[in-house]
Structure 1
Amino acid sequence: LRELKPDKFDDLIAMNALYRPGPMAYIPDYIDRKHGKKQVEYDLPDMEEHLKETYGITVYQEQVMLLSQKLAGFSKGDADVLRKAMGKKQISVLNKMKVQFIEGATLKGHPKDKLEKIWTDWEAFAQYAFNKSHSTCYAFVAYQTAYLKAHYPSEYMAAVLNHAGGIEKITFFMEECKRMSLTVLGPDINESQNGFAVNKKGEIRFGFSGLKGVGENAIEHIIEERTKHGFYSSIYDLAKRVNTRAANKKSLESLIYSGAFDCFPEIIRAQYFHQAPGDMQGLEKILKFGNVFQLQNATTSNTLFGDLQMPDIVPPKLSPCEPWPLAVQLDYEKEVTGMYMSGHPLDNFKFEMRHYNISALADYNEFKLAISTHANPARQFRLAGLVVDCQHRLTKTGKKFGILTIEDYSGKTEFMLWSEDYVKYTAYLEKGLIILVEGGFMTRYNSETYEFKLSKVHLLDTVKPALTKQVVLEIQSQHINNKFINFIETNIKTNPGKTSLKFNVVDVRNNFRVGMYTMEKGFTMNDDMAVFLLGNPDVEVSVVTA
């Protein structure tokens, strides 16, 4: 659509009709003809009247109906029969109508060879023929939603997330929010609504209804109490005010796992579940405190001494403990929200994801879906992700095979491991591993369909030392200082190896560039170097890999 640069509503209608398996192959031609890069041609001059709006490409069923009437003298009834036969792929009916079309058009003086070509094109068209009125409706909805996305991006994306359905769709749209520079925040006890909602800063806040283990009664009670009496000032304030029969222990555990209580910084997530020797669990203490407070309030208000000031109940102190490791925290988040909220397991591999020619899984999946439309379907890919599912199975003949599913920031995909691949890569069929997959698409045996064939699999944390042939650093001369020089010198001496390090020093004032290598024979690419380069925006990094 960006390549098309639509400037009229008709363009949206046509693209809706074309953007499906089959007609997608005509999209490049449509775009080139619209922008004058290719000449618009018609098999017969009489076809221009009905094909001009789509630059000579037959896109809609209605165009075939109108052309059959104009070229061959079909009645409106015959044209409708032709439309139905195309839509339902009724071969016998189409064969009869071909004779009628050729005879009728020949009588009107059209050359038979051209008519044969037109009919052949129409037969191919029958595989994907689309109704223009339907496409118009879809295009109108697309225009409306595009307007909302452009002018009310946060509100629109919050609505999309609320209606996304499955977690994969939600993950996809969360990535779209990132691309749009929209902030999506995790659950918050003082700000979250039932579903995704937009706060006063224009940020999208994750809703309570997306949390596993938090029931509707708990959500309604928490929001209603907050609306009536204001924000919760602490976890103890919440325990005093919220009915624990509605928001029970399981609900509170899910809220903790999701980070909804992180707005109370005096208590870290691990403390709620920590139990010191001879003591109660932190969350149990809080629930007991809340129950005692609410019972005292209820008892006092129902006695003759209702106005009597009762002594305050002192909130319990939670035993200190170490915070959870990030990996544990992320696992809990995904368990209750379906996604990682405060980070991602791939966050420790930002250098690799950025510099090692790794494609996003969403891009890979999109390529795979429309592989037949690409000029180079036998493309090679390098992919990386967290192993989220793995299965060991047997074929009907008793042979072992595996299914490996990985997930990155953009989505997930699965790979089939047959025979030799299963034996070779079975060690990587383990949940929690973070791996790099290399391979490419190739045609199946005796088939025109494509499958992805693995060529290599690595643990992602071995990629820097194993695959880095050369690191090229481009830096302007004014940004080179002692700190930069000292770090580079120390690092390459501490990590000797075979990777070459090249500098392209740019002098902007005098408009020249000097390329140079280090005096050392080489070094081994390492985590310290990666962290240093990621944190130095003045250095442009490129990596040559094996």
Structure 2
Amino acid sequence: YPHPLVANMLSETYGIMVYQEQVMQTAQILGGYSLGGADMLRRAMGKKDADEMARHRQIFRDGALKNDIHQDKADEVFDLMEKFAGYGFNKSHAAAYSLLAYHTAWLKVHYTAEFFCANMTVEMDDTDKLKVLLEDAIKMGLTFEPPDVNRGVSRFEPISDRVIRYGLSAVKGSGQQAIEAIVAAREGRGVGPNGDTVGPFKSLFDFCARVDRSRINKRTVEALIKAGAFDAIALNRASLMASVDLAFEFGAAALANANQCSLFDMGDGDAHGSSTQEPELVQATPWGVKERLVYEKTAVGFYLSGHLFDEVVTEVRRFAKRPIAELIDTREPQLLAGIITDFRVINGQRGKLALFKLDDGSGVIEARADEALINAHKDLLKDDELVIVMGKQQPDRFSGGMQLTVTQVWDLEQARCRFGKYLRVRAATGPQGLKLDMARLLRDFPAQKEVTEQGDLWRGLAVRLALTCRGEEGAAQAELQLGEQARFYPSNAALASWWAQAAPGTAEIVYE
């Protein structure tokens, strides 16, 4: 700096303006400002008022000239002051923040589980912050017990140095009162017919009979089921959801029965309605992985017990081999796959623009798709959908990170047609011949025609039969390529039909 007083004033911060007081002192020493005037300059810099800044720049130039500092050097110093004043703290504030940061970092290292429990409890109403904290905790080696009506309480709790029990109040739609009523019933402080029963809930019906009905409703119970809080009682979440109405009716009937008994028995004897027989849960087909996780996301705010990509990762990695976490720094197009999250459409300079995140469990990348892709893939470009994309990675000038500009999009079935070579079916023939009804399979799932600007495009996979012919003198093997007329569309339903006849694993798509 062109003045020994300024150099001395900045010596404790190694010649860099860090504190607001240093900006003000520089204005005072070099620009001839009073300290009051320097504070006004600091405020103007913070507000970034262009006219006000131009006026102050000239004042600074004039003051610096009196100190034999020419205009170019004065402007250079003024630009530095403006830069640091834009985000600097005053010294006492900065020192307090530094000390707090040190204390917080120490707690995070030495009391990791307690640190995250406290932070997640404070932020339990903010899903975005909860997700960030959860991911950070997992990176530091912590694991989470899922929500559990038989073990959990309102807040997040450290079970050990490395394990956290999920707070029940973090489930959307639960509420503090409802969770307090659940814990009270578990501890034998309920008001239902079995209100003095202590210990875990044995069933959904037992839960509805013991928890104070005035503090819990069906919406809360359904949210807890979706979040997995009843998994320790029954694993079939679909069956639990289908039984909520029945369980509430059972709870009401048990309470009425207990009240009637207490009226006639004058509070004497078995007056708790314990003889009421619990019904069976309503039978329902268990949710698939996607359905379970999507419901879980509505209750928790994100996927807690798994990731949607897990269901397809084995197949997808056979052609989209590079995980998002291992993206290479290249301007060449890259083939990626992931689940869409945070999807939104904005109006850009050249039409509509889709902005979303692509998440494959290994990492997340910001992505964008133009209006043509939005119109061509309306049913695919939305939250919680699996997409396979071709795109170019480039710097994002807003976030400072990287962004993927998507040029092509496929769903899994389309990707099978695009990147698969053929369907290999392993089958054995005996005296009665081949048992596969291929004619029906090819008729039920024919190749699909897509009309494009370049003409009609047929999407489908060829079929090869890997035959093993067994006879009295031994076995012979051959592989037969069926003709072009035998192409089929590889939907999930089609593959399931092939597996039903050939047995799972004996019909597979060959990608290489």
User: 3-state SS of the aligned residue for 1:301?
Assistant: helix
Pick closer, same or farther for the CA change 1:356–1:97 going to 2, 3 Å. farther
Structure 1 position 73, deviation (Å): 5.8
Which residue, out of 108, 114, 118, partners 1:155?
114
Structure 1 position 74, deviation (Å): 4.9
The residue that corresponds to 1:61 in the other structure is: 20
CA deviations 1:41-69 (Å, max 9, x no partner) are: x5555543222333322233222223344
Structure 1 position 315, deviation (Å): 2.3
The residue that corresponds to 1:403 in the other structure is: 354
Pick closer, same or farther for the CA change 1:112–1:252 going to 2, 3 Å. closer
Quote the Cα distance in structure 1 between the aligned partners of 2:103 and 2:85. 30
The residue that corresponds to 1:101 in the other structure is: 63
Which residue, out of 240, 264, 268, partners 1:307?
268
Question: Does residue 386 in structure 1 map to residue 345 in structure 2?
Answer: no
- Amino acid corresponding to residue 97 of structure 2 in structure 1: Y
Question: Does residue 435 in structure 1 map to residue 387 in structure 2?
Answer: yes
What TM-score results when the alignment is normalised by the length of structure 2?
A: 0.65
The residue that corresponds to 2:240 in the other structure is: 272
Pick closer, same or farther for the CA change 1:463–1:211 going to 2, 3 Å. same
The residue that corresponds to 1:5 in the other structure is: none
In the alignment of these two chains, the number of paired residues is 404
CA deviations 1:387-423 (Å, max 9, x no partner) are: 3465678889xx9635253453589776553344445
Pick closer, same or farther for the CA change 1:440–1:380 going to 2, 3 Å. farther
User: 3-state SS of the aligned residue for 2:264?
Assistant: coil
**2:117/2:156 contact within 8 Å kept:** yes
CA deviations 1:318-374 (Å, max 9, x no partner) are: 35554321222112211222222221101235566899444359x99xxxxxxxxxx
The residue that corresponds to 1:482 in the other structure is: none
The structure with the largest helix share of the pair is: 1
Pairing 1:126-141 to 2, within 5 Å after superposition: 126-141=85-100
Between stretches 75-84 and 184-193, larger displacement belongs to 75-84
Question: Does residue 177 in structure 1 map to residue 146 in structure 2?
Answer: no
Question: Does residue 167 in structure 1 map to residue 167 in structure 2?
Answer: no
Quote the Cα distance in structure 1 between the aligned partners of 2:396 and 2:222. 50
User: 3-state SS of the aligned residue for 2:394?
Assistant: strand
**2:170/2:300 contact within 8 Å kept:** yes
**2:330/2:393 contact within 8 Å kept:** no
Pick closer, same or farther for the CA change 1:159–1:393 going to 2, 3 Å. closer
The residue that corresponds to 1:36 in the other structure is: none
Pick closer, same or farther for the CA change 1:93–1:166 going to 2, 3 Å. same
Pick closer, same or farther for the CA change 1:347–1:52 going to 2, 3 Å. farther
- Amino acid corresponding to residue 329 of structure 1 in structure 2: R
User: 3-state SS of the aligned residue for 1:119?
Assistant: helix
Quote the Cα distance in structure 2 between the aligned partners of 1:239 and 1:426. 43
**1:334/1:340 contact within 8 Å kept:** yes
Any unmatched runs of 5+ in structure 2?
Answer: 189-196, 421-463, 467-511
Between stretches 377-386 and 344-353, larger displacement belongs to 377-386
Quote the Cα distance in structure 1 between the aligned partners of 2:342 and 2:54. 48
- Amino acid corresponding to residue 167 of structure 1 in structure 2: T
Quote the Cα distance in structure 1 between the aligned partners of 2:332 and 2:66. 47
User: 3-state SS of the aligned residue for 1:324?
Assistant: coil
User: 3-state SS of the aligned residue for 1:441?
Assistant: strand
Structure 1 position 377, deviation (Å): 12
Percent same amino acid at aligned positions? 30
**1:171/1:411 contact within 8 Å kept:** no
Pick closer, same or farther for the CA change 1:172–1:123 going to 2, 3 Å. closer
Which residue, out of 272, 292, 305, partners 1:342?
305
The residue that corresponds to 2:8 in the other structure is: 49
- Amino acid corresponding to residue 91 of structure 1 in structure 2: M
User: 3-state SS of the aligned residue for 2:277?
Assistant: coil
Quote the Cα distance in structure 1 between the aligned partners of 2:63 and 2:335. 51
**1:400/1:422 contact within 8 Å kept:** no
Question: Does residue 453 in structure 1 map to residue 405 in structure 2?
Answer: yes
The residue that corresponds to 1:230 in the other structure is: 198
Quote the Cα distance in structure 2 between the aligned partners of 1:393 and 1:78. 44
Which residue, out of 250, 253, 261, partners 2:219?
250
What TM-score results when the alignment is normalised by the length of structure 1?
A: 0.61
Pick closer, same or farther for the CA change 1:209–1:449 going to 2, 3 Å. closer
- Amino acid corresponding to residue 297 of structure 2 in structure 1: K
Pick closer, same or farther for the CA change 1:306–1:91 going to 2, 3 Å. closer
**1:186/1:206 contact within 8 Å kept:** yes
Pick closer, same or farther for the CA change 1:270–1:126 going to 2, 3 Å. closer
Pick closer, same or farther for the CA change 1:72–1:186 going to 2, 3 Å. same
Between stretches 284-293 and 181-190, larger displacement belongs to 284-293
User: 3-state SS of the aligned residue for 2:67?
Assistant: helix
**1:105/1:115 contact within 8 Å kept:** no
Quote the Cα distance in structure 2 between the aligned partners of 1:218 and 1:449. 42
- Amino acid corresponding to residue 429 of structure 1 in structure 2: L
**1:384/1:460 contact within 8 Å kept:** no
User: 3-state SS of the aligned residue for 1:312?
Assistant: coil
Any unmatched runs of 5+ in structure 1?
Answer: 1-41, 275-281, 365-375, 469-493, 497-545
Quote the Cα distance in structure 2 between the aligned partners of 1:381 and 1:161. 37
**1:393/1:402 contact within 8 Å kept:** yes
CA RMSD of aligned residues (A): 4.4
Quote the Cα distance in structure 1 between the aligned partners of 2:88 and 2:317. 41
User: 3-state SS of the aligned residue for 2:215?
Assistant: coil
Pick closer, same or farther for the CA change 1:98–1:319 going to 2, 3 Å. closer
- Amino acid corresponding to residue 302 of structure 1 in structure 2: L
CA deviations 1:255-292 (Å, max 9, x no partner) are: 22221111124x63232245xxxxxxx34443333333
Structure 1 position 205, deviation (Å): 2.2
User: 3-state SS of the aligned residue for 2:152?
Assistant: coil
Quote the Cα distance in structure 2 between the aligned partners of 1:252 and 1:103. 74
Between stretches 62-71 and 174-183, larger displacement belongs to 62-71
Which residue, out of 117, 138, 147, partners 1:187?
147
Which residue, out of 189, 192, 210, partners 2:170?
210
